[in-house]
Amino acid sequence: MEPLISLTSVVVPLLRDNVDTDAIIPAEWLRSLASDPGEGLFARWRYRADGSADPEFVLNDSRFRDARILLTGANFGCGSSRENAVWALQRFGIRCVIARSYSDIFQENCFKNGVLPIIASPGDHALLVRCCAAEASYVVSVDVAAATVTTRDGAVFTFELDLRRSNRLMSGSDEIDATLALADRIDAFRALHRLAKPWLYPANGDGSDG
């Protein structure tokens, strides 16, 4: 995972609530292991029925081609658990989302992939929305260690980010390795758990614990 320490980028505004993962990447983009999820990002809104780019859709605005920060509304990423939604954002270049709130699974999927999902307070969110409305290529900076967003006008707001997550984002370290390092504790737990609840450990694949 590519570490994420800080980021300065123009902000793409997608000001809708309840943007679901079917909208972020529709099911037909999940049909091949080889396809580029970045191309499927917001496909239903980004492309017209004939496959051409819809100039009305914000992501097709050339000013946002290299954007790395997405600004959106409440409950972003609700619906299906498909991690492809995060991969699509990431492959497009987005490393940070700023929203009012997220679905739990989507938020978790972001952290697993080095994408920072920031929850902005109503006031901070409104400020960013105003800034982006006033100026189409509005730039902000995000600092992971300090957990701050700094606007071009110098306004600074903080967001919540626990130490565990910020360390993982900044180091890009592998969570599976971290868990495997606890192998002794896992084995000890399982030995006791198995004695207490043998029916949860099917040895013969038929519900008997032989």
Partner 1 sequence: MAAMTLFDRLFDDHVIAALGDGVSLLQIDRHLVHEVSSAAAFQQLRNGGRTVASPKQTFATQDHIVSTKPGRNDTTFAQGIEFIRYLRGNCTEFGITLFDVDDAQQGIVHVVAAETGLALPGCTLVCGDSHTATLGAFGALAWGIGSSEVAHVLATQTLPLKKARPMRIRIDGKLPHGVTPKDVILKVIRTFGIAAGVGHAVEYCGSTIRGMPMEGRMTICNMSIELGARAGFIAPDETTFEYLSGRTYAPKGRAFDEALSAWRALQSDDDAPFAKTLDLDVAAMKPQISWGTTPGDVVDIDEPVPDVDEMAPERRAAALRALSYMAVPPGHKLEGLPIDVVFIGSCTNSRLSDLRDAAAAIDGRKVSPHVRAIVVPGSTAVRYAAEREGLHRTFADAGFEWREAGCSMCVAINDDAVPPGARCVATSNRNFEGRQGRGARTHLASPLTAVASAIAGCIARPAVTG
Q: Does position 206 bind partner 1 by CB under 8 A?
A: yes
44 sits near partner 1 (criterion: CB under 8 A): yes
Pairwise CA distance, residues 70 & 72, whole Å: 6
Instruction: Pick the binder of partner 1 from 7, 20, 39, 60 (CB under 8 A).
Output: 20
34, amino acid identity: A
Q: Is 39 in the site for partner 1 (CB under 8 A)?
A: no
Q: How far is CA 184 from CA 3, 180, 202, in A?
A: 29, 9, 22
Single residue of 51, 123, 134, 162 touching partner 1 by CB under 8 A: 162
Residue carrying the six token digits 């658990």:
81
Nearer to partner 1, 83 or 124 (CB): 83
Q: Does 38 bind partner 1 (CB under 8 A)?
A: no
Q: DSSP state, 193?
A: H
Q: Is 165 in the site for partner 1 (CB under 8 A)?
A: yes
Tokens in use for 142?
């995000």
Cβ 22 to partner 1 shortest distance, Å: 5
Among 66, 135, 153, 174, binds partner 1 (CB under 8 A): 174
Q: How far is residue 24's CA from residue 89's CA, in Å, rounded to a whole number?
A: 8
Dihedral over alpha carbons 4, 94, 1, 149 (to 10 degrees): 20
Q: Could you give the 3-state DSSP secondary structure of residue 136?
A: coil
Q: Is residue 8 within the footprint of partner 1 (CB under 8 A)?
A: no
CB closer to partner 1, 116 vs 140: 116
By CB atoms closer than 10 A (0-12, 13-18, 19+), residue 159 is middle
Q: Does 113 bind partner 1 (CB under 8 A)?
A: yes
Classify 178 as helix, strand or coil: helix
12 vs 86, beta carbon nearer partner 1: 86
From CA 66, how far away is CA 132, in angstroms rounded? 16
Total residues at the site for partner 1 (CB under 8 A)? 61
Residue 37: Cβ-neighbour burial (10 angstroms; 0-12, 13-18, 19+): buried
Which residue's CB is nearer to partner 1, number 171 or number 208?
208
Q: How far is the CB of 17 from partner 1 (least distance, A)?
A: 6
Residue numbers at the binding site for partner 1 (CB under 8 A):
16-18, 20, 22-23, 26-28, 30-33, 44, 49, 74-75, 78-84, 86, 101, 103-105, 108-109, 112-113, 162-165, 174-176, 179-180, 182, 185-186, 189-190, 193, 196-203, 205-209
